Structure 1
Amino acid sequence: MELRAAGLQEQPFRSHGRPLVFVGYAAQEAAFEFLEQTYKNFHGLGLFQGPTLSGKTTIIRHFAELQGTKSAMAVVDGAGLNTTALLEAMLSEFGFEHKFNSVNELLNMVKVFILQQTASGKTPMCIIENTHEMNPSALRVLCELAQIRVREHFALRLVLVSDRPIQYLTKASAMEGIAKRVSGDFHLEPLTLDEVTDYLFAKMRSGGCFDPENVFPEDVCDELHAASGGWPGIVDRLALLALAKADYCPVRREHIERPAIPESTLVRDAGDDAQVDKESKESPTLYLTRNGKTVKKLYIDGPRLLVGRSDHNDLSIDSSFVSRHHAMFVRHGEATLLMDLNSSNGTFVNSRRISNQ
Structure 2
Amino acid sequence: PSPRYLFLGEIHKEALAFLTYGVVERKGFILLTGEVGTGKTTMVQALLASLDRNIQCVYISNPLLSSQDFFDYLAFSAFKKKVRFKSKADFLVEFEEFLKRSLQDQKTFLLIIDEAQRLSFELMEEIRLLSNMETADEKLINIFLVGQPELNEKLAEPRSRALLQRISVRHHIEPLDLNQTKDYVIARMKTAGCNEPLKVFPKSTIKALYDYSEGYPRMINILGDNALLLGYSREKRKITPSMIRECYEEIRFRPPLTEIKKDKKPIAKTETTTQKTGKLKWVALFLFLVLFGVVAALVKGGKVENLRLFLDKGLSTLFGQPSPPPKKVFYHTPSLETKPSSPMEKEEGISSPMPEKVAIEDTSQSDQEKEQAPVSIEGSQEEPIPSGSLEEAAGPGLEVQESWPTVTVKPGDTLAQLAIDIYGRADQKLLEFVKRHNPEIRDINWISVGQEIVFPPLSKQEEAPVYTVHIASYGPFSSAREKFLHLISKGCEAYIIPVNLPERGRVYRVTLGNFSRLETAKQYASKLIKSGLTSFAEPIRLEVR
Residue 151 of structure 1 pairs with residue 139 of structure 2: no
Residue 221 of structure 1 pairs with residue 206 of structure 2: yes
Task: Report the equivalent of 2:58.
Answer: 74
CA contact (8 A) 2:176 2:216 kept: yes
CA contact (8 A) 1:143 1:175 kept: no
Residue 101 of structure 1 pairs with residue 84 of structure 2: yes
Task: Report the equivalent of 1:347.
Answer: none
The change in CA–CA distance for 1:93 and 1:59 in structure 2 (over 3 A counts) is: farther
CA distance in 1, matches of 2:60, 2:95: 14
Which region of structure 1 is more displaced relative to structure 2, 223-232 or 71-80?
71-80
C-alpha deviations, 1:125-180, integer Å up to 9, x for none? 22211112134553333122111111243321222111123234335566455233
C-alpha deviations, 1:4-38, integer Å up to 9, x for none? xxxxxxxxxxxxx4343211112311321231232
CA distance in 2, matches of 1:243, 1:270: 47
CA distance in 2, matches of 1:62, 1:237: 21
User: What secondary structure is seen at the aligned counterpart in 2 of 1:150?
Assistant: coil
CA contact (8 A) 2:63 2:118 kept: yes
CA contact (8 A) 2:28 2:166 kept: yes
CA distance in 2, matches of 1:271, 1:22: 43
User: What secondary structure is seen at the aligned counterpart in 1 of 2:23?
Assistant: helix
Task: Report the equivalent of 1:193.
Answer: 178
User: What secondary structure is seen at the aligned counterpart in 1 of 2:220?
Assistant: helix
Q: Structure 1 residue 100: deviation in Å?
A: 0.9
Which amino acid in structure 1 is aligned with residue 152 of structure 2? Q
Q: What TM-score results when the alignment is normalised by the length of structure 1?
A: 0.63
Aligned length: 271
1:206 paired residue among 183, 191, 209: 191
User: What secondary structure is seen at the aligned counterpart in 1 of 2:108?
Assistant: coil
Residue 44 of structure 1 pairs with residue 32 of structure 2: no
CA contact (8 A) 1:132 1:162 kept: yes
Task: Report the equivalent of 1:112.
Answer: 97
Kindly indicate which of the two structures has a greater share of residues assigned to helix: 2
Q: Structure 1 residue 54: deviation in Å?
A: 0.6
Structure 1: runs of 5+ lacking an equivalent: 1-16, 261-268, 278-286, 297-308, 312-317, 319-357
CA contact (8 A) 2:76 2:82 kept: no
2:238 paired residue among 250, 261, 283: 250
1:147-186 alignment runs, 5 A limit? 147-172=132-157, 175=160, 177-186=162-171
CA distance in 2, matches of 1:188, 1:250: 31
Which amino acid in structure 2 is aligned with residue 162 of structure 1? G
1:270-309 alignment runs, 5 A limit? none
C-alpha deviations, 1:299-333, integer Å up to 9, x for none? xxxxxxxxxx999xxxxxx9xxxxxxxxxxxxxxx
Task: Report the equivalent of 1:299.
Answer: none
C-alpha deviations, 1:13-71, integer Å up to 9, x for none? xxxx4343211112311321231232255543122110111100001111012112142
The change in CA–CA distance for 1:214 and 1:180 in structure 2 (over 3 A counts) is: same
CA distance in 1, matches of 2:160, 2:97: 23
CA distance in 2, matches of 1:219, 1:310: 14
CA distance in 2, matches of 1:209, 1:106: 54
The change in CA–CA distance for 1:49 and 1:89 in structure 2 (over 3 A counts) is: same
The change in CA–CA distance for 1:212 and 1:134 in structure 2 (over 3 A counts) is: same
Q: Structure 1 residue 88: deviation in Å?
A: 4.7
1:51-70 alignment runs, 5 A limit? 51-70=35-54
CA distance in 2, matches of 1:245, 1:270: 49
CA distance in 2, matches of 1:176, 1:116: 31
Structure 2: runs of 5+ lacking an equivalent: 254-343, 353-357, 363-405, 413-449, 451-545
The change in CA–CA distance for 1:213 and 1:88 in structure 2 (over 3 A counts) is: farther
The change in CA–CA distance for 1:198 and 1:167 in structure 2 (over 3 A counts) is: closer
CA contact (8 A) 1:61 1:75 kept: no
CA contact (8 A) 2:19 2:169 kept: no
The change in CA–CA distance for 1:40 and 1:197 in structure 2 (over 3 A counts) is: same
CA distance in 1, matches of 2:58, 2:133: 17
Q: Structure 1 residue 80: deviation in Å?
A: 1.6
The change in CA–CA distance for 1:43 and 1:63 in structure 2 (over 3 A counts) is: closer
User: What secondary structure is seen at the aligned counterpart in 2 of 1:230?
Assistant: coil
The change in CA–CA distance for 1:271 and 1:139 in structure 2 (over 3 A counts) is: closer
Q: Structure 1 residue 91: deviation in Å?
A: 5.0
Identity in percent: 18
CA contact (8 A) 2:56 2:110 kept: yes
The change in CA–CA distance for 1:137 and 1:225 in structure 2 (over 3 A counts) is: same
The change in CA–CA distance for 1:108 and 1:68 in structure 2 (over 3 A counts) is: same
Which structure's CA Rg is the greater one?
Answer: 2
1:340-355 alignment runs, 5 A limit? none
User: What secondary structure is seen at the aligned counterpart in 2 of 1:144?
Assistant: helix
- When the two chains are superposed, the root-mean-square deviation of aligned CA atoms in Å is 3.9
CA contact (8 A) 1:149 1:155 kept: yes
The change in CA–CA distance for 1:173 and 1:195 in structure 2 (over 3 A counts) is: closer
CA contact (8 A) 2:34 2:147 kept: yes
C-alpha deviations, 1:321-348, integer Å up to 9, x for none? xxxxxxxxxxxxxxxxxxxxxxxxxxxx
Q: What TM-score results when the alignment is normalised by the length of structure 2?
A: 0.43
The change in CA–CA distance for 1:242 and 1:123 in structure 2 (over 3 A counts) is: same
Which region of structure 1 is more displaced relative to structure 2, 225-234 or 52-61?
225-234
User: What secondary structure is seen at the aligned counterpart in 2 of 1:153?
Assistant: coil
Task: Report the equivalent of 2:393.
Answer: none
Greater relative contact order (Cα 8 A, min sep 6): structure 1 or 2?
1
The change in CA–CA distance for 1:239 and 1:117 in structure 2 (over 3 A counts) is: same
CA distance in 2, matches of 1:107, 1:255: 58
